[in-house]
Amino acid sequence: MAGRPLLLLLALSQAHKQLQCEDCTHRPDETSMLQAQQAQRQHAGHQLPHVEATIPSRLLNTKDGRLSHHSHTHAKVVDDTDYREDARVRGEQAMKQSLDERCSLKRMTLEEVHHRWAELVAAEKAKVGHLTMDKMEDLRFAFNSVLNNNQPVMVQDVPRQLGWHAAGHWGAEELSKFLGDHQWERQSFDYPDWIFGLKNYTSLSGYLKRHESSTNVFLFASEPGCDENKVLKSTVDVIRGHITPSPDFAYGPEWCQAIIAIDGIGASHGFHNHDPVWNVQVTGWKQWWLMPPHSKANWQNEFGMEWGGAPLTADGTPFEMPNGCAMVKQATPPPGTQMCVTGPGEMILLPDSWIHATCGLTEFTVGAGGWLGGPARHDHGHPDKPMEK
């Protein structure tokens, strides 16, 4: 299999980076989220100045909020291979393909999706009478799963239908000029940390000028609520109005649940999973690889793959490919992987815990969307407004 030699090479090159951590002596049920975060920062000191990993709500004990696992090892698996040429060729190919040829996901119209959401809300309201904030959060969290039997969905022409300013105005030059010196944290992907921050900030124009996607550095904003990092919030606030209104089923901008992914060509988020999200490809082209929640992985719980884990290949080897662009040409995806290339205006609705990886196929790609996990569920600040929409 094509991926086997590359996996072996990555494993050998990282073998000497095995780290020891006294925090790992804690049993999973004794390890708090704070301890896990402290452990991550200790480990980061051996290789990178800082590590930040988004911990999905499904991995937290709902009674006391403690991390439900801390069992993985801490050998960093990184990949700084330059996949830009492979990505460029795939991007040119995808642009010539029909939608059926480049994406295996079910397609729905935005009108159909909004109608299904209205039906779901009406049915629940008829059942309970009044929809509390918690109930609305539950509905939003479950929506992507009930929409298509727990399968992802593709929706076309979303920014234009919603009236987003971003449609047609988020090219590299125009967006860089608009953002000016507003700062983004440079981020990358490894195992077992998944997405992590480099504690090093740059403007969008600076990121693009340095061609940092050649070593899998990308810009990524993931909002955990309005009490987030001030630098992150100030940057997102500048462009928040460009991606409003939200779809009917999503949180409005006042809830600070946005996700904005900026990638140069060949930059990638390797296989990972998290709470349900919606993601609109605003500019450029991106390849997605998707696997169901209970696909075989090296670390699993009752929800599926655990934070820090990786899916398994046919022979049982962990597919720890930090840069998913390797799957464009160099490596074979794990069994059961679905593929989809998204172009401008196309939205993916990803249900809870679906495993996925991405690769930027054009010089500049921007995706915008948001979390459906719920701000109150995470105990973050939220506006004093009714939840019904």
Percent of residues in the chain assigned helix, strand, coil, to nearest 5:
35, 20, 45
DSSP assignment letter at 308: T
pLDDT at 375: 61
Contact 330, 2 (CB under 8 A): yes
pLDDT at 302: 83
Burial of 342 (0-12, 13-18, 19+ CB in 10 A): buried
pLDDT at 230: 87
How does pLDDT run across 194-207, given as a tens digit for each residue?
999 999 999 999 99
Beta strands in the chain (DSSP E): 106-108, 153-155, 184-190, 194-202, 218-222, 258-264, 277-283, 286-291, 300-301, 304-305, 338-342, 346-350, 355-360, 364-371
Question: How far is it, in rounded angstroms, from Cα 346 to Cα 159?
Answer: 8
How does pLDDT run across 13-70, given as a tens digit for each residue?
343 333 333 333 333 333 222 223 333 323 332 222 222 333 334 333 333 332 333 3
How does pLDDT run across 263-286, given as a tens digit for each residue?
999 999 999 999 999 999 999 999
Helix (H, G, I), strand (E, B) or coil at 298: coil
Q: Which has more pLDDT, 47 or 256?
A: 256
How does pLDDT run across 79-112, given as a tens digit for each residue?
999 999 999 999 999 999 999 999 999 999 999 9
Alpha carbon of 57 to those of 6, 295, 317: distances in Å? Answer: 33, 20, 27
Task: Parse the chain into domains and list their residue ranges.
Answer: 80-371
Mean pLDDT of the 309-331 span: 95
Question: How far is it, in rounded angstroms, from Cα 185 to Cα 209?
Answer: 16
Mean pLDDT of the 293-301 span: 91
The topology (CATH level 3) of 80-371 is Jelly Rolls (2.60.120)
Mean pLDDT of the 310-325 span: 94
Q: Nearest 5°: CA angle at 207, between 229 and 177?
A: 85
pLDDT at 303: 81
Q: Which residues contact 365 (CB under 8 A, 6 or more apart)?
A: 261, 262, 263, 264, 265, 281, 283, 284, 285, 286
pLDDT at 3 over 50: no
pLDDT at 337 over 90: yes
Mean pLDDT of the 287-300 span: 94
Q: What is the largest CA-CA distance in the chain?
A: 60
Write down the residue that tokens 């480990």 correspond to.
Answer: 43
Query: Pairing state of beta strands 106-108 and 153-155?
Result: parallel
Mean pLDDT of the 137-144 span: 96
Question: How far is it, in rounded angstroms, from Cα 109 to Cα 247?
Answer: 12
Contact 292, 351 (CB under 8 A): no
Question: How far is it, in rounded angstroms, from Cα 345 to Cα 366?
Answer: 11
Look up the pTM and report it.
Answer: 0.80
